[in-house]
Structure 1
Amino acid sequence: MSVLVLVVDDEPDVEELFRQQFRRDLRAERFVMDFARLAADALIRIARPIEHSLILILSDINMPGMTGLEMLPKVKEIRPEVPVIMITAYGDPETKRRAMERGASGLLTKPIDFALLREEINKRLEWV
């Protein structure tokens, strides 16, 4: 069974950055990464049947339209079993509290510690 990590971020260079950081994993088909530029697109994507097992959603908090924090409870309604890690440039305690109250599994600050993120993904892969 192939597994999916969905990344939600409006910045155009994020997809390239993530694909570069996880290129070995993607080439080895350990998991698949998909990308959504808007929260609304991510919600549509996860509401449809997905050919891969969705194991993790990574979402930026500050996006145009619907923010990551506004998207979070909607994700939990559609896919309550899927952990969501929020990504922000502002790792202050208030942001973390708000994210956790809305159902986030964790919070990463920018610049992203990809070694830490890799550990998180590896944990999720062990549970599949």
Structure 2
Amino acid sequence: MQILVVDDETDVRDLFQQRFRREIRSGEWSFSFAFSGEEALDFLRQHHSEVLIILSDINMPGMSGLDLLGHVKEEFEMPPTTMMMITAYGDDDSHRKALALGAHDFLSKPVDFAVLKEKLAHLRPA
């Protein structure tokens, strides 16, 4: 399952690769990383049919995760099956906006990787 992680903090790549080492090695999940909303859109334009899940930070310089969510829903006829928003600010307004724009889930930072793995396991195709 291909997952695109979008976060302006570059150390997130090492964190995900460490926390999902076993799943990556087994080929269960494959991760790609974008460090801005604009970079994520470029990646999706090139690999659209491959990405099944987007995990995006909300607060990023330039294009926010909410802006990215809106662009993905507008631009792609068949958007990724699941979009989860991740933020350090678990405010109700961001949560409402994300859900209104079509986000499927909302996670707070620091990410609880046990909870994330459980959520991803439920999304795995049978």
Q: Same fold (TM over 0.5)?
A: yes
* Cross-structure match for 1:24: 22
**CA contact under 8 A between 2:66 and 2:98: conserved in structure 1?**
yes
**CA contact under 8 A between 1:76 and 1:82: conserved in structure 2?**
no
Q: Which runs of 4+ in 1 moved over 6 A?
A: none
Percent identical: 44
* Cross-structure match for 1:95: 94
Partner Cα distance (2:67, 2:80) in 1: 18
Q: Residue 5 and residue 49 in structure 1: after superposition, are their counterparts in 2 closer, same or farther (change >3 A)?
A: closer
Q: Residue 72 and residue 125 in structure 1: after superposition, are their counterparts in 2 closer, same or farther (change >3 A)?
A: same
- Point out the more displaced range, 106-115 or 76-85: 76-85
Partner Cα distance (2:47, 2:119) in 1: 24
Unaligned 5+ residue runs, structure 2? none
* Cross-structure match for 1:9: 7
Partner Cα distance (1:35, 1:46) in 2: 11
Deviation at 1:81, TM superposition (A): 4.4
Partner Cα distance (2:81, 2:38) in 1: 17
User: CA deviation digits over 1:73-108, x for unaligned, max 9?
Assistant: 111231434211000011121110011111111110
What is the root-mean-square deviation of aligned Cα atoms in Å?
1.5
* Cross-structure match for 1:66: 63
Partner Cα distance (1:93, 1:11) in 2: 23
What pairs up with 1:36-115 in 2 under 5 angstroms?
A: 36-49=34-47, 53-77=50-74, 78=76, 79-115=78-114
Partner Cα distance (1:64, 1:112) in 2: 20
Matching residue's letter, 1:14: V
**CA contact under 8 A between 2:53 and 2:80: conserved in structure 1?**
no
**CA contact under 8 A between 1:55 and 1:124: conserved in structure 2?**
no
**Correspondence 1:35 to 2:33:** yes
Q: How does the TM-score come out when normalised to structure 2? A: 0.91
Q: How does the TM-score come out when normalised to structure 1? A: 0.89
Matching residue's letter, 1:124: L
Unaligned 5+ residue runs, structure 1? none
- Point out the more displaced range, 55-64 or 69-78: 69-78
